[in-house]
């Protein structure tokens, strides 16, 4: 095991579930693993994975915007809105000009979106996809999402490649469905790649099956943590460092340096030697008020 906390960027391949892609991490980094958003089995791309005591930091990652490259096949809509489903509707192919106008008119900014019926959303206490598999037709309530930008980067007459920047909670499968219907057609996704999550990029991620690269990558976890917006930096003296190993927050006398901006809501607390001790919520004055994670505590109870 590399350490007892990691923030990893993984390259999920197509053809396996997100859960399956975490197996090398559990085997080589830490058995305790969490993630900040899954990808469908047919999809590939960037996943943020947290291990050990960093699994408690998931709330810091939940609101990050995302970017995708999506291949939309017009003419056929499937029940799952992806290549693994069965065709339930067909329609004529739209022109590129028609789709471009629809994107400009209706799919930029805040929009209302109905999630796919084949999704993990809970409806009356049950997963929607389980109800769909049982043949139960489920009404999926619309909800607001934000499309920061969407542009056409490829088109061969039936398959269109879109570059999409969007808010959390956006279903690209639903986006493909709705764009096609607004264009007088039907469609489903045939490929999807997540290329960015917040400040993190696919190019900086590692193959989970490359053990050597995975272990080396885990050593950069603190640097990746500090890339997140809203996290300041606090350095404390030796006495406060010791107190933190018992879960006790530092007081003002123990803080040597505080680098927290007005917009920061959390802080990473370091020892004088530069070792990460804790991640805490902070108040408006930059004082720690509650602990989120304590990497400095070496044993789990």
As annotated, the active-site residues are 40
For residue 206, give the DSSP letter.
B
Cα gap 199→211, rounded to integer Å:
24
- Give the pair of three-digit tokens for residue 248: 């006790």
134 burial level (CB within 10 Å; 0-12, 13-18, 19+):
exposed
Three-state secondary structure call for residue 267: strand
Give me the DSSP letters along 158-179: SEEEEEEEE-TT--HHHHHHHH
Q: 280 near 290, Cβ under 8 Å?
A: yes
- Give the pair of three-digit tokens for residue 156: 């061969």
Cα gap 45→12, rounded to integer Å:
5
Cα gap 176→162, rounded to integer Å:
9
Cα gap 240→6, rounded to integer Å:
23
Q: 262 near 231, Cβ under 8 Å?
A: no
Cα gap 69→45, rounded to integer Å:
10
Give me the DSSP letters along 84-111: TS-EEEE-PPPPHHHHHHHHHHHSSEEE
Cα gap 234→246, rounded to integer Å:
18
Count the neighbouring beta carbons within 10 Å of the beta carbon of residue 33: 19
């Amino acid at each position: 095991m590399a350490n007892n906390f990691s923030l990893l960027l993984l390259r999920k391949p197509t053809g396996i579930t997100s859960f399956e892609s975490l197996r090398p991490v559990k085997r080589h980094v830490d058995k305790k693993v969490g993630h900040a958003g899954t990808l469908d089995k047919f999809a590939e791309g960037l996943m943020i994975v947290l291990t050990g005591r960093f699994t408690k930091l998931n709330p810091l990652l939940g609101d990050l915007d995302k970017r995708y490259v999506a291949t939309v096949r017009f003419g056929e809509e499937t029940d799952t809105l992806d290549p693994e489903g069965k065709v339930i509707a067909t329609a004529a192919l739209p022109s590129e000009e028609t789709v471009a106008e629809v994107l400009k008119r209706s799919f930029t900014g805040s929009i209302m979106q109905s999630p796919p019926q084949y999704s993990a959303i809970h409806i009356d206490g049950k997963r929607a996809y389980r109800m769909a598999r049982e043949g139960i037709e489920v009404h999926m309530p619309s909800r607001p999402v934000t499309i920061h930008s969407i542009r056409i980067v490829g088109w061969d007459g039936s398959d269109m490649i879109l570059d999409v920047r969007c808010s959390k909670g956006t279903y690209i499968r639903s986006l493909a469905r709705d764009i096609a219907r607004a264009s007088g057609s039907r469609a489903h996704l045939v490929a999807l790649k997540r290329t960015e999550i917040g400040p993190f990029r696919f190019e900086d991620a590692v193959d989970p099956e490359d053990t050597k690269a995975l272990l080396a990558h885990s050593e950069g976890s603190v640097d990746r943590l500090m890339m997140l917006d809203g996290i300041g930096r606090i350095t404390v003296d030796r006495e406060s460092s010791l107190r933190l190993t018992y879960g006790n927050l530092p007081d003002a006398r123990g803080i040597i340096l505080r680098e927290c901006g007005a917009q920061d809501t959390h802080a990473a607390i370091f020892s004088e030697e530069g070792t990460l001790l804790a991640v805490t919520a902070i108040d408006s004055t930059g004082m720690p008020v509650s602990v989120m994670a304590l990497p400095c505590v070496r044993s789990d109870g």
